Amino acid sequence: MHQHWAEQLADRVIKEKTKPYLVSAGMTTSGPAHFGTICEFLFPFTIKIMLEKKGEEADFILFADILDAFDNVPIPMEKFRKDLTPHLGKPLVFVPDPTGQSKSFGDYFLDEVKNLIKIFGVKVKVISAVEVYKEGRADNYAKLYFENEEEAKKIIEETSGREIPSDWSPIMPICEECGKIATTRVTRHDSENYEYACDKDVKYTKGCGFKGKNKLTDHKYKITWRLHWPMWMDSYGTSIEGAGVDHHTKGSSWDTLLEVFKRIYKKEAPIGYRYGFILMEGKKYSKSKGLGLGISELVKFVPVEVIKYTLIKPDLEENIDINPTPQNMLRLIEDFEGAAKLTGNVDEMDRATRKRALAFRLSVDKMHWNSSFLDILLYYQIYGDWTEVAKMLGDNDGVNYLKPFIQEWIGKEFIPEEYRFKYQPAKVTDEKLRGFVEHLNEKMDALAIHNSVFEFAKTNGIEPKTMFGEVYKILIGKERGPRIGKLIYALGVKRIKEDLLK
């Protein structure tokens, strides 16, 4: 049996870890959410679901690192560059939200993520880095790193393959004068106190020159990333946590984490897993630059269960290349609709079919529509009345469920060219075309009608492409359109004959 990646990881947790099981994840909210952001909470939630399907209990927490340094103005915030630039180098949580909607710049994008978590139906406890440090949860770890500073430095050098600066420290103080975290360095410390100077120059900002001293219990610092990640997992008792492949390559932060657990914590590390990149036309998304697909916009066009299915279905380390054209989005929806019909025992299916069936069952509790998205779109283009569409398709609940998405497609002109049409019947004067219309009968379904075009063209020595073009022209006044069988069936053979043969 070929297991889905969620099955494999859930089995590892049950086999290798002790209860209670905790699935955790982390993210930095430095820019707008995109497909990659979704993976950061969708993949771990899928593991939690799989553990529950196997009869186990598991909690899921998401760590939001809004204490990370603000190092770049993302493109969506470009109009606020003048207001934001003075705050470069500060923790994201100490940068004002220029829109005035959230408590801080970091919270602005975190609020977007929280909204998406709700939309995607994910059950998770979101924990801010501010809470972690404010509670003093990191203090004992910072003290431990101070006491084992040389070993921590040695671990980072060995695992990263690069030389660490002589003024390196396990923590990054927050300057009490200018509020920056990117420009400070520790000058002296014992196990519980430290002195610092805000005199570093980084590419995007400079230190103010202030010198100060604090206690760890003042909570005015952050542990440096490679030591912060293991601190976070050990503090909460993580069983399993994943990250993108860039965090799991040789010399990456995962290598550091494993050695920190082994040599400093003297413990077994959590299970780690890596997932591929979400690409946009072959290019990696950039959260900080704001490049990539705006997922908050896309969920208005495509039901969330389709997006969940699309992300859960591939092998975990496989890169997923998203190109959000209307045609590609329709293909995703059609794939999802096909997977909904895969009933029965998944263990009796071939690998590809099993992946689709399991991805569907992990992404949705029930199917909300019976008619296809394309059929509903087609019928609405013809009749322009939702009540009539629901009546014609016999799927009132499904039509109402997809109505807001299709209205968004229409309002934003996202509809593919072949579905942009108006029924404008033209009287048929060509004898062969007239013969084709006459031979249609009301007992034909969409497939039979479609095939009849090929058969009629072949019998009458007409190129099929030419035949299709002529039929489209007498129906909608253009040479291309929806599948001809679907179009004629939706319009009704009786109606077409009355309109075209009059």
List, as one string, the DSSP characters of 182-199.
Answer: TTEEEEEE-SSEEEEEE-
**pLDDT of the residue at 291:** 40
CA distances from 118 to 111, 124, 140, 426 (A): 11, 9, 34, 50
Q: Is pLDDT at 288 greater than 50 in this prediction? A: no
CA 47 centroid distance within chain: 16
Number of domains comprising the chain: 5
Helix axes 35-53, 5-16, angle to 10 degrees: 60
Averaged pLDDT, 92-98: 97
| Continuous segment of H or E residues that includes residue 22 | strand 21-27
CA 284 centroid distance within chain: 13
Q: Is pLDDT at 39 greater than 70 in this prediction? A: yes
Q: What is the pLDDT of residues 215-243, one digit of tens each?
A: 999 999 999 999 999 999 999 999 999 99
Percent of the chain with pLDDT over 90: 82
Indicate the pTM of the whole model. Answer: 0.89
Give the least confident one: 57-61, 124-128, 323-327, 490-494.
Answer: 323-327
Classify 342 as helix, strand or coil: coil
Task: Assign 72 a pLDDT band (cuts: 50, 70, 90).
Answer: very high
Task: Assign 322 a pLDDT band (cuts: 50, 70, 90).
Answer: confident
**CB-count exposure of residue 100 (10 Å: 0-12, 13-18, 19+):** exposed
Q: Is pLDDT at 390 greater than 50 in this prediction? A: yes
CA distances from 484 to 112, 150, 418, 463, 465 (A): 42, 73, 11, 16, 12
In a domain, 324, yes or no: yes
Alpha helices in 313-460 (DSSP H): 326-340, 351-363, 373-383, 386-393, 396-411, 431-439, 446-459
In a domain, 409, yes or no: yes
- Whether residues 108 and 75 share a domain: the answer is yes
Tokens 């203090």 -> residue: 139
Other Cβ atoms within 10 Å of 17 Cβ, number: 17
Q: Report yes or no: 457 and 465 within 8 Å, Cβ to Cβ.
A: no
CA 52 centroid distance within chain: 23
CA distance 312 to 275: 11
The 3-state secondary structure of 123-182, one letter per residue: CCEEEEHHHHHHCCCCHHHHHHHHHCHHHHHHHHHHHHCCCCCCCCCCEEECCCCCCCCC
**pLDDT of the residue at 2:** 80
Q: Is pLDDT at 191 greater than 70 in this prediction? A: yes
**pLDDT of the residue at 298:** 86
- Whether residues 253 and 128 share a domain: the answer is yes
- Whether residues 270 and 202 share a domain: the answer is no
CA distance 325 to 315: 23
- Whether residues 122 and 182 share a domain: the answer is no
Strand 201-202 and strand 283-284: pairing? Answer: unpaired
CA distance 371 to 390: 9
- Whether residues 201 and 245 share a domain: the answer is no
- Whether residues 216 and 94 share a domain: the answer is no
Mean pLDDT of the chain: 93
- Please choose, from the candidates 422, 456, 426, the residue with its C-alpha nearest in 3D space to the C-alpha of residue 440: 456
Q: Is pLDDT at 293 greater than 70 in this prediction? A: no
The answer to whether the Cα torsion of 280, 282, 288, 290 is positive or negative is negative
In a domain, 285, yes or no: no
Q: Report yes or no: 320 and 35 within 8 Å, Cβ to Cβ.
A: yes
- Whether residues 43 and 112 share a domain: the answer is yes
CA distances from 250 to 247, 256, 316, 318 (A): 9, 10, 19, 18
- Whether residues 268 and 400 share a domain: the answer is no
Q: What is the pLDDT of residues 116-153, one digit of tens each?
A: 999 999 999 999 999 999 999 999 999 999 999 999 99
- Whether residues 380 and 305 share a domain: the answer is no
In a domain, 314, yes or no: yes
Residue ranges making up the domain that contains 180: 171-223
Residue 450 has φ and ψ, to the nearest 5°, of -60, -45
**pLDDT of the residue at 282:** 63
In a domain, 154, yes or no: no
Q: Is pLDDT at 283 greater than 80 in this prediction? A: no
- Whether residues 19 and 106 share a domain: the answer is yes
Q: Is pLDDT at 290 greater than 60 in this prediction? A: no
Q: Report yes or no: 418 and 327 within 8 Å, Cβ to Cβ.
A: no
In a domain, 75, yes or no: yes
Tell me the residue ranges of DSSP E strands in 234-382: 240-244, 271-275, 278-280, 283-284, 320-322
CA distance 292 to 221: 32
In a domain, 200, yes or no: yes
| Continuous segment of H or E residues that includes residue 82 | helix 81-84
Q: Is pLDDT at 22 greater than 90 in this prediction? A: yes
Q: Which two tokens stand for residue 76?
A: 């969506």
In a domain, 78, yes or no: yes
Give the least confident one: 254-263, 284-293, 322-331, 430-439.
Answer: 284-293
Give the least confident one: 65-69, 195-199, 283-287.
Answer: 283-287
Residue type, 466: T
CATH of the domain at 486: 1.10.10.350
- Whether residues 248 and 352 share a domain: the answer is no
Q: Is pLDDT at 453 greater than 70 in this prediction? A: yes
- Whether residues 48 and 109 share a domain: the answer is yes
CA distance 29 to 19: 31
Give the least confident one: 268-282, 406-420, 436-450.
Answer: 268-282
CA distance 146 to 170: 7
Other Cβ atoms within 10 Å of 212 Cβ, number: 17
Give the least confident one: 120-124, 290-294, 393-397.
Answer: 290-294
